[in-house]
Amino acid sequence: MMFAQVLIVLVLFSGRECGMISNGDLINRVVNALNAVLNFISENVDDMNVDGLFGVALAEAHLLKIRELKRENDSYEFLSNQASEILKQIRWDRKNLSPNYKMCSYQKSFLIFSVYISVFLVKTFLLNVDIWKKNIEFTRGRMHTVEPPFQANTCSQYLNLMSNAYFREGFSDECLSRIINGSRRKEKNCHLDKFCFKYVMESKLMLGYGLTHKVLLLQVAKALGCKWNTTPKITKYCSHVLWEVRQDSNCGFIETLDDLFIEQILLCGSEGFLEFFQPSWIEHVLRLQSQFGCFGTLADETEMVRTKREANYIKFGCTDHATGLAAATLSLFLRILLLTK
């Protein structure tokens, strides 16, 4: 009895002292959610597109890092094995990787130089867990204050702004394959053509997926060892992403932005910016999970922020994109909850 009381006091104290999220119940809920989403994916691997499976590779990388620190607990080993099994189950001959361009004259001339993403490149680079297994320094205070890029005084103005944000996903894929190809050269300059260079490096204001994909491309370049100074750009772009997430959160989370929300938290959160781990944001991701374990966030296609080619319905109203990325996001949450405890 006495011992129990002392223990409770200690728990309260340690929680208060470091001011961190230290919630055993939350950890268990994240573990259960992760288990459910990995089970779902493992039963539907053939329906998952490459983006979704990329999420599983990131999930495994985070889970392997957790295992290095929590060797005594079998739960984490179980989860990382689950992710690893999924990646082994992929039947590559069933994956369609060719970009689905809508041809316009500009793109036609651009396509002459196209380097398509092949199964080989995806397998060897993008879905290679070792590349993504990295140490992360989780800190607060590196985000810049940003000037709101556009005026949005109300939630409907904000949604309108995001809905009209223009972004061509095929173009970002094009730049992605250029980075991967560039990283295979010995000198690792990962040279980009003028268009991709402008997209990745120039500060032209973008919103939504246009912005998260800038972060993603920099992260891929960094992971593949390109000799770029990625840190200042990533910090700058993520500061803008944080502004967006805060708008969304202040609006009580706009349903049509939920898929984007998962991507935002995952990509910028992977840089260790603790600003992206508000308890209510973690709760929101948990709430988005369906009873079947998958995540469905294409609320209404007609008012979709942008036709997301890389998101497809699988079943139960879920999409491969949100489901795969959510697996990675939940693994990242678990990593943070366990490490900052």
Ligand X SMILES: *[C@@H]1O[C@H](CO)[C@@H](O)[C@H](O)[C@H]1NC(C)=O
Q: Which is nearer to ligand X, 27 or 274 (CB)?
A: 27
Residue 238, phi then psi, degrees to nearest 5: -70, -30
Alpha-carbon distance 341 to 20, whole Å? 7
Q: Which is nearer to ligand X, 81 or 181 (CB)?
A: 81
Query: d(Cα 42, Cα 76) in Å, to the nearest integer?
Result: 17
* Euclidean distance between CA atoms 181 and 175, whole angstroms: 10
Q: Given the complex with ligand X, which of 27 and 304 has the nearer CB atom?
A: 27
Choice between 25 and 93, CB closer to ligand X: 25
3-state secondary structure of 87: helix
User: In the chain, how many H helices and how many E strands?
Assistant: 15, 0
CB nearer to ligand X: pick between 36 and 322 = 36
Q: Smallest distance from the beta carbon of 121 to ligand X, in angstroms?
A: 36
In the complex, minimum distance from the CB of residue 29 to ligand X, in angstroms, rounded to a whole number: 9
Query: Is the four-CA dihedral 193, 194, 196, 198 of positive or negative sign?
Result: positive
Q: For residues 41 and 66, which CB has a smaller minimum distance to ligand X in the complex?
A: 66
Q: Shortest gap between Cβ of 80 and ligand X (angstroms)?
A: 13
Q: Which of 17, 38, 5, 75 is nearest to 289 (CA)?
A: 38
Query: Do residues 304 and 298 make contact, with C-beta atoms less than 8 angstroms apart?
Result: yes
The CB-of-75 to ligand X minimum distance in angstroms stands at 4
Residue 160 near residue 257 (C-beta atoms within 8 A): no
- The span from the CA of 98 to the CA of 173, in Å, is 10
Q: At closest approach, how far in Å is the CB of 331 from ligand X? A: 13
Q: How far is the CB of 273 from ligand X (least distance, A)?
A: 24
User: Residues interacting with ligand X, by CB under 6 A?
Assistant: 27-28, 31, 73, 75
